[in-house]
Amino acid sequence: MQAEVISIGSELLAGDVVDTNAATIARQFGTIGIPVCYQSAVGDHRERIQEILSLALRRSGVVITTGGIGPTEDDLTREIVARALGVDLEFHPELLAKIEERFQRLGVSMTPNNRKQAYIPAGSIPIENPRGTAPGFIAEHGGNVLISLPGVPAEMVFLLEQVVLPFLQSRFGLRGLTLTRTLKVAGLGESRVDQIVGDLMTGSTNPAVGLLAREGETHIRVTARGEEARSVEGLVAGTCREILQRLGNRVFGQDEETLEAVVGGILLAKGLRLAVAEWGSGGFLLSRLAAVPGSVGFLQGGVVRPHLTSADSSEEKKPEMEGACLALMADFQASGVLGLAVTENKCGPGSHAPWRAHFLFLGPWGKFQRTAPLPEPPALWRRASTSALEILRRILLVGSPDLS
């Protein structure tokens, strides 16, 4: 059995709204053992919606649509689904009562067009929506299950978790479990990680191993399925152990752990504090560190300066980065404060020089400097801050920017 997601709304194709619903559905369906094999986005156009819906019903056992079930003229999903199922729209007075009740609670007058939301394809199971005014519905046709949910992410996620997933588990007798663990690597590109663990990706389907490139990071996803929690956990744990044996301390964390939180934890464990100086980055690194819960325990503070000028980039001015970092630590007059300075070699906005980041690390180990090529903004400073954090993590772990 495979599933298909159809995201409906012209705003998705215009680039005005990012479709997070499809990714959420794919992740959640994976937890109950239903793979999402197709995803489509289509505008508010009757014939195009009908075309993609007909195709989906031919090739996928579970089809889920998001969007197009509101009260306006361009909300077309209900009538197109009804036509695809060969049924009429059916009025549900209990749905209208819930819609009216919600408007009353909000203290807003309900316009007549909201009555449209109380109509769903005949024979469908209504899904009441306590988070909004647009009810969803579940229909079955020729062995297929078709589910329509609102496009507002908060409403969609609530109905997906509370109604849709339990329905599918019951409908298809899905008693199995799916567990995914993500190991995170920084400082090694996706192709290099693939060389190290690629055989695990091709040699096994349960657990399945996949790579995902992020800005400056490579995530290794290990997913296993089974009927007993212990066996599923064992499959995932065994593969993760093998990956950790191969990559060692190049893996900085797993699942929801962030690199900045891991670095902060190491600083706290060692009783160290960090001072940061940044040029031209808008304080990206400092903001990442400051956002870590408990950062007051390891972050001394920092300074942020705008882009370097052409004069700043001259050979005579290059020691300024080191001097400013040293001065920063002196200003704080705190023992055990580490210094980290980050700058770029652009001569301000409009320069055509390649983007490169320069890092300076000062601490009990002495002084380390590194330079890294970077992509164009806006990814540049996310990548630069990740590089700085990963190098600092290595220094804290082994006393060197390079892991053996």
Contact 289, 281 (CB under 8 A): no
pLDDT above 50: residue 348 = no
Gap between the Cα atoms of 278 and 381, Å rounded? 11
Tokens of 159: 């109905």
Average pLDDT over residues 131-154: 94
pLDDT above 90: residue 6 = yes
Alpha-carbon dihedral sign for residues 310, 316, 318, 324 = negative
Report pLDDT digits (tens) over 358-399. 787 877 777 787 877 766 555 677 888 898 899 999 999 988
Domain extent listing, the chain: 3-171, 177-254, 259-398
Left (φ > 0), alpha (ψ -120 to 50) or beta: where does 143 sit? left
Assigned CATH topology for domain 3-171: Molybdenum Cofactor Biosythetic Enzyme; Chain A (3.40.980)
pLDDT above 60: residue 403 = yes
Q: For residue 193, name the pLDDT band (cuts at 50, 70, 90).
A: very high
pTM over 0.85: no
Say which residue, 339 or 74, is predicted with more confidence.
Answer: 74
Gap between the Cα atoms of 128 and 377, Å rounded? 44
Pick the CATH number of 259-398 from 3.90.950.20, 3.50.50.60, 3.40.50.2300, 3.40.50.720: 3.90.950.20
pLDDT above 90: residue 227 = no
Residue 7 backbone dihedrals phi, psi, to 5 degrees: -100, 125
2 Cβ contact list (under 8 Å, min separation 6): 34, 35, 36, 37, 38, 59, 60, 61, 62
Q: What are the CA-CA distances from residue 72 to residues 67, 83, 111, 116 (Å)? A: 12, 19, 11, 8
Left (φ > 0), alpha (ψ -120 to 50) or beta: where does 123 sit? left
Q: Structurally, what CATH architecture does the domain formed by 177-254 represent? A: 2-Layer Sandwich (3.30)
